[in-house]
Structure 1
Amino acid sequence: MIIEEYYTRLDGPEPLSALDLAEPDIAFLIALPGAEVTGDGHADLQDYIEGRPAVGRRHTVLRRSVDGDLEMVYGVITEGDGRGTGSFSSVALISPDKRVARYQAFFHPGFGMFPLPGGAA
């Protein structure tokens, strides 16, 4: 899955390598509590990636699904100590070139489908 590899790269030692999996004109929405980040194109996505604090977090995918050109994942965000800080769901429209064309992600620190590692649901 392209979106799962995107998260693997985003959390890895070279987060900007995630851009290799995105179309140059990618459109995205990242919904966070109290804020939305939107953008169009590699430059906007790069700005978002570079602006993320370096806190050692990881996207741990718990469920995944593919329906044609649409990929969906659900998971939890874990800190370096393994403690869960929230859950996320993401949907990506995959281009014919097998890159993310459109991307939508939602994060919530309190509500989730499953209990968070080291905490409650």
Structure 2
Amino acid sequence: MIIEEYYTRLDGSESLTALDLVEPDVSFLIALPGTEVTGTGHAALRDYIEGRPAVGRRHTVLRRSVDGDLEMVYGIITEGDGRGTGSFSSVALISADERVARYQAFFHPSFGMFPLPGGGR
């Protein structure tokens, strides 16, 4: 799955390699508590990635699904100490070139489908 590999790269030591998996004109929405980040293109997504605080977070995918050119994942965010800080769901429309063409992600710190590890909410 492209979106799962995107998160693996995003969480790795060279997070900008995640951009190799998205179309140059990618459109995205990242919904966080109290704010939404939207944009189009590598530059806008790079700005978002570079602007995230370096806290050692990891996206752990717990469920995944593919329906044609649509990929969906659900998971939890954990910090470096293993403590869960919230859940996320993401959907990506995959292009004919097998890159993310459109992407939307939703994160919530307290509501999730499964309990968070390490005493998280």
When normalised by structure 2's length, the TM-score is 0.98
Match of 1:16 in 2: 16
Q: 1:62 is matched with which residue?
A: 62
TM-score by length of 1: 0.98
- Quote the offset at 1:119 in angstroms: 2.4
The yes-or-no answer on 1:116 pairing with 2:112 is: no
The percentage of aligned residue pairs carrying the same residue is 87
Contact 2:59 2:75 (C-alpha < 8 Å) held by counterparts: yes
1:120 deviates by: 5.2
Find the residue that maps to 1:27 and give its secondary structure: strand
The SS at the match of 1:118 is helix
Tell me which residue corresponds to 2:27.
27
Q: Cα distance, 1:5 vs. partner? A: 0.1
Counterpart of 2:91 in structure 1 is 91
Moved beyond 4 Å, runs of 4+: none
Give the Å deviation of 1:89: 0.1
Residue 53 of structure 1 aligns with which residue?
53
Unpaired runs of 5+ residues, structure 1, are: none
Could you say what secondary structure the match of 1:97 adopts? coil
Computed over aligned residues only, the root mean square deviation of the Cα atoms, in angstroms, reads: 0.7
